[in-house]
């Protein structure tokens, strides 16, 4: 008989057993990443995050798991439901806390319903989804949400979970031999613009390179983290990831952490932080203390593409939003989320809004594809 259990921390769950279900493809659902957020001060109730991971058991056997959080706000999720929260609270309800199935601060598509491959996998995924909905009902919560789902997880959600979609921009490796081979696949104007941007950075005299996280010193990590914090502060946002967490990733993941750096001598003037999965490079955080034309594109996109080609990676996902990425070889890709609103009337109202949103999103995606940067689209 299957039993669902919710926990207070990832550390309540054996790391080896969790990772056996999560697999090695996506680092963001690894026990190292998720538990590291908790241990290093990134998950705090006062910031709207409380760990509430879900496991599924048959006796003592762990058959399924899911990264779940109790949320006191909608910060750090990248699937925006502020309007829903406002409407529900205007009607006299409490939208928060809610349940979230996802990865904190990371708009990265990946596995969310962690089960072993096999004939039982579909039923186990459905059991995890059912447990999530039941937990929301049992505690009188407004809702449960599942963000940045892979296609393999979608069938586990029935019609009571409302579908929502968005667009990200991903780069795909078409077997390029090197960066010049990639440029040759682009239209002339796009190729010329990229070369101009890279030349601007090269002419600045800064030394730009991708460096593995485990090769960086304590002093260098402190500089990197300071740049990350300063960029968030400039935009009026909260930098939730701590220096200890950055150092934890470097110590735990080794060259699975990559940092694109722009240096002037020993001083790091700009950085972009990446994680590397089995076949995908994930771009996450950018920070700079100089305003140099082309530098953001060099560190966040072009060095990442070079790294992906050199290491035989199939995709490069540089983060959320940003239509400007298309001009640099990144193509629109649809992302998926599912949303369970406990109150039937509220659910019906949101469903109507989402149907209209989905139609607009389809039109937008079709329009985007007419602007492919590739010579042979």
The answer to whether residues 122 and 223 belong to one domain is no
Residue 158 and residue 42 share a domain: yes
**Contacts with 315 (C-beta within 8 Å, 6 or more apart), sequence order:** 170, 171, 172, 173, 279, 280, 281, 308
CB-based contact 172:315 (threshold 8 Å): yes
For strands 98-101 and 143-149, give the pairing: parallel
One domain for residues 154 and 103:
yes
- Give the sign of the dihedral formed by CA 301, CA 255, CA 311, CA 110: negative
Contact 321, 335 (CB under 8 A): no
Which is nearest to 6 in space by CA: 157, 161, 135?
135
Do 182 and 155 lie in a common domain?
no
Same domain as 31, residue 135? yes
Co-location of 58 and 24 in the same domain: yes
| Residue 37 backbone zone (phi > 0: left; psi -120 to 50: alpha; other: beta) | alpha
Which CATH number covers residue 111?
A: 3.40.630.30
pLDDT (0 to 100) of residue 231: 86
156 within domain boundaries = yes
Look up the domain containing 279 and give its range: 174-313
Task: Indicate the Cα dihedral angle 258, 262, 267, 271, nearest 10°.
Answer: -50
**What are 150-177's pLDDT values in tens digits?**
999 999 999 999 999 999 999 999 999 9
- Which pLDDT belongs to residue 85? 98
- Domain identity same for 179 and 142: no
Which pTM value belongs to this model?
A: 0.96
> Quick check: 142 and 350 in contact, CB under 8 A?
no
130 and 194 in a single domain? The answer is no
Q: Is residue 377 part of a domain?
A: no
Q: How far apart are CA 344 and CA 144, in angstroms?
A: 14
pLDDT of residue 377: 58
For the chain, which ranges sit under pLDDT 70? 236, 377
Same domain, 22 and 157: yes
Residues 6+ apart with CB under 8 A from 94: 88, 142
Tokens 């035989």 map to which residue?
Answer: 312
pLDDT tens digits, 109-145: 999 999 999 999 999 999 999 999 999 999 999 999 9
| Residue 109: inside a domain | yes
Instruction: Count the domains in the chain.
Output: 2
Q: Is residue 376 part of a domain?
A: no
Q: Are residues 217 and 142 in the same domain?
A: no
Give me the residue label for tokens 């001598």.
265
Residue 191 within a domain: yes
């Amino acid at each position: 008989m299957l039993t669902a259990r919710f926990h207070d921390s990832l550390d309540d769950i054996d790391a080896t057993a969790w990772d056996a279900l999560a697999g090695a493809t996506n680092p963001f659902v690894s026990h190292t990443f998720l538990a590291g957020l908790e241990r290093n001060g990134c998950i705090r109730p006062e910031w709207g995050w409380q760990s509430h991971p879900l496991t599924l058991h048959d006796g003592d056997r762990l058959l399924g798991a899911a990264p779940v959080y109790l949320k006191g706000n909608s910060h750090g999720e990248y699937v925006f439901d502020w309007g829903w929260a406002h409407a529900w609270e205007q009607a006299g309800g409490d939208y928060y806390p809610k349940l979230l199935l996802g990865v904190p601060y990371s708009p990265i598509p990946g596995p969310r319903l962690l089960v072993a491959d096999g004939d039982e996998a579909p039923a186990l995924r459905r059991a995890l989804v059912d447990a999530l909905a039941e937990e929301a009902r049992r505690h009188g919560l407004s809702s449960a949400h599942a963000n940045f789902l892979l296609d393999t997880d979608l069938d586990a959600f029935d019609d009571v979970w409302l579908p929502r979609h968005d667009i990200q921009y991903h780069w795909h490796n078409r077997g390029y031999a090197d960066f010049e081979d990639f440029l040759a696949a682009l239209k002339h104007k796009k190729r010329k613009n990229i070369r101009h941007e890279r030349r601007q950075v090269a002419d600045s005299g800064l030394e730009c390179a991708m460096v593995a996280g485990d090769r960086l010193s304590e002093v260098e990590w402190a500089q990197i983290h300071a740049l990350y914090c300063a960029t968030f502060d400039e935009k009026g946002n909260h930098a939730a990831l701590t220096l200890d967490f950055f150092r934890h990733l470097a110590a735990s993941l080794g060259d699975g952490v990559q940092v694109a750096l722009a240096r002037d001598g020993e001083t790091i003037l700009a950085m972009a932080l990446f994680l590397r999965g089995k076949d995908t490079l994930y771009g996450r955080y950018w920070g700079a203390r100089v305003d140099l034309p082309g530098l953001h594109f060099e560190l966040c996109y072009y060095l990442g593409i070079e790294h992906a080609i050199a290491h035989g990676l199939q995709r490069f996902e540089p983060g959320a939003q940003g239509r400007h990425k298309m001009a640099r070889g990144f193509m629109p890709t649809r992302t998926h989320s599912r949303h369970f609103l406990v109150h039937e009337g509220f659910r019906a109202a949101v469903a109507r809004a989402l149907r209209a949103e989905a139609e607009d999103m389809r039109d937008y995606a079709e329009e985007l594809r007419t602007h492919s940067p590739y010579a042979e689209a």
